[in-house]
Structure 1
Amino acid sequence: MSDEKYRETIIEQAKKDQSAGKFQSESPGFRSLVKSYVSVVSPDRKNIITEGLTAIYKNKNPQPKTLNLIDYLLGNVKYCKEASDVSYAEFYDSNGEMVASYSNGKWISYGTKAENARESELWGIYNEAWNNAARTSQKNSYVAGTDTTIGLMDISV
């Protein structure tokens, strides 16, 4: 989807959410849109982790080997293991940004600068559209409320 089409979709989602009384993460449509919009700049975490784990398990040393230039260009991994158990690992993309870690049996995914910037961009578009829809809704409620009040006063006179 082009960025312009994404923008239109974000604005429509914000209007839909505002009329339903939902905001951002309260809306499944918004959450889905964030994933789709950000994925355009996301690194291939699955591949980075797979390659990193393969390198860890191939290395018989409990401490990480010194990584060479090719390792840095392809992304790299820092880790600590005892025997065949990995207790801690960090996974980096080709830009040197940590994209995931493993510690105490739990995985954590980290957003890259590009992902965070794109998500912030989406929030800006969404928030502006949601606020505009809210103002329009309030204005329409006010006008409708005024008409009803005037109509009631006319009837009672």
Structure 2
Amino acid sequence: MSNPVEKMTIKNLADELGVSKNTVRNQLVNSGFDLAQYKENGIIMLDKELIGVVRSIYRSKSDQFTGQLPVNNTGSDFPLEKENEFLRDQLAEKDKHISELTEMIRDQQKLTLLQQQKNDQLLLENQELKNRKWWQFWK
């Protein structure tokens, strides 16, 4: 990042890393360092060791937040191609399944319509039988 420096203030390091002074201070305290022993004239001066610790902590945290993954520079995209092929096969299978289900729904709707028409016809015939007079029972 920058030239190796013997000593640096928390503010300078925070400015270099683009974080607040409190963030740098809290990282060091959480790592178990006693910052009181690094004070010179009321200013905390970080030595090489502490600067390295903060930079490594910041690097690991920024990698977590940005989602950087180790890069495989072998030049082979075979696993990605394999996964892509697998996902395409799954998609084709699901499309086929959706088509089958859609066809089944259409068939069921046709059957329901036929059954409804049959029920209407029977209801009409039943109504006609009820509307007959007593002397028309032989019809």
Which TM bucket (shorter chain)? 0.3 to 0.5
Point out which structure has higher relative CO (alpha carbons under 8 A, 6+ apart).
1
TM norm structure 1: 0.33
TM norm structure 2: 0.37
Bigger strand fraction: 1
